[in-house]
Structure formats: C-alpha cells, structure tokens
Amino acid sequence: MGTLYAAEGHVGPCEVKVPASHLTGDAEARARFHREVETLRSLRHPHLVRVLAAGEERGHCWYALEPVSAPDLGTRLDRVNALPFPEVEQLASQLLDALGAAHEAGLVHGDVRPQNILLAKGGVKLTNFGLSLVPPGAHGYQAPEQRRWGRAVTQSDLHSLGRVLHEALTGGAPETQPLPRGVPRHLRRLLRALLAEAIPDRPDSAVSARRLLAQRAPLGPLTVGFAALLAVMLYLLLRAA
C-alpha cells in the first residue's frame, strides 16, 4: 500500500511514506489525501507519530513522519506470542487516547494493526494512518464493514483495536483463540464491546471505550468483609506489639 524511505530534509531526519500510486491516482483521491494529511500534521499527541511535512512530486503523494526508533507490536508478538494482562491494559489505554485525539480531529486511522503500533520507551506510538487509502481485505485486523465494503468509520478503528488487543492477550485471532483464564473482567468487557460485529453494538467513541476500560468491578460484600477482618487483625497485632 506504499513505500517507506529513510530521508533527510529541511525538517531534519525523517521517514517518508509514499502511498501506492494507484491509491492516489485521481484528482479526488489526491485532494482527500492532502486534506487528511494536513489535519494529521496539526495533531500533537504523545501516542501519535507526528507528520512533519507533506507534498506531491511528479504525481506521487508523500508525507514525512518523525523517526521513531522502536520495535513494532507485531515483532514483539512474533517473539513472545502473548503479553501480560497489565501490559495489554496499558496498550489499550494509550491507543484509545491516541485514537480519541484523531477521531476528535475528524480522522479515521483505517489501518490499526500490530505493525503500525510502535513500542517506544515513553509509551506506544500509533503510526501509518491509512488516510482512506487501505483497500478492502488488506489484512485480518479490518472491521467487517471494511472487509466487505471498504468503509471505515471511527468504530472500525475500535474493532481493529479489539482484534489487536485480543491477539496481544492470546497470540491469535478471536475466531480461533479464546481468551485465557484470568483475564480481568473489565478487559473482557472492553473486548466484547470492541469486537461486536455490527457498528451500533460497539462503543460510539474512543472515549466511551475508555470508560469501559476504567469500569473495574466493585468490591463485593465478601471481599469487603475479608478486608475488614484483615484490618482488625492488623490492628490487634500492632497493639500487642
């Protein structure tokens, strides 16, 4: 769907992405590309790779990205197969924040997959926005409406994120690999919502999905009673000492 080059320009070291020419072959597609990339340039978010410049040369559209020296999530999963639950929860939180910023600006990523998630030292970085250029069936992380009709909306990004998170937890796809025992209830609830087949059954925004992630189960009566008993025992031990 494009070629990535290491480059040096007036913005300094960068990576230049050149989409495949057939994806920006007509005037309407090129105009849409330039509108979306200009919006992307205006975004400043700790979990989004910055777009530094963009343009067109000899009929080829291009945009320059800040260089990020970090492995991608796909490479990490190839090595370890699955990640610890707390790490997946952190991934979910940071990626929902990044998608929320993009969606608020009117952008749909359209290509959320492990290879476009960089594991930088300061947290994840989402890169390689599809910019309306990802064809239907390009990869298995696409939402049903993308695979069938090439249509991507904000909830499409959320579904793709659900597939990424499921793979991070299990090493496989939702259709073939069930969640292991011990996955926290709030993570299960989030994944169930993100992976819904129909668009209306998914969260209506990244912010709504973030709320689901934050809704941990309240302490039940038995848990509260046990905690109170421990507190009393600790108090008595301290008095005896």
Cα–Cα distances (Å) from 76 to 14, 73, 111, 119, in that order, read 23, 5, 18, 9
CA count, 13 A, side-chain hemisphere, 93:
11
HSE of 55, CA atoms in CB hemisphere, 13 A? 7
CB contact at 8 A, 197 and 144: yes
Does residue 72 carry a catalytic annotation? no
At residue 133, what are phi and psi to the nearest 5 degrees? -110, 5
Out of 72, 97, 111, 157, the active site residue is: 111
What count of Cα atoms within 13 Å lies in the side-chain half-sphere of residue 37? 25
Map residue 158 onto helix, strand or coil: helix
Structural contact between residues 114 and 164, judged by C-beta atoms closer than 8 angstroms: yes
Residues 65 and 53: their CA atoms lie apart, in Å, by 7
Token pair, residue 83, equals: 């990640």
Q: Which residues are catalytic?
A: 111
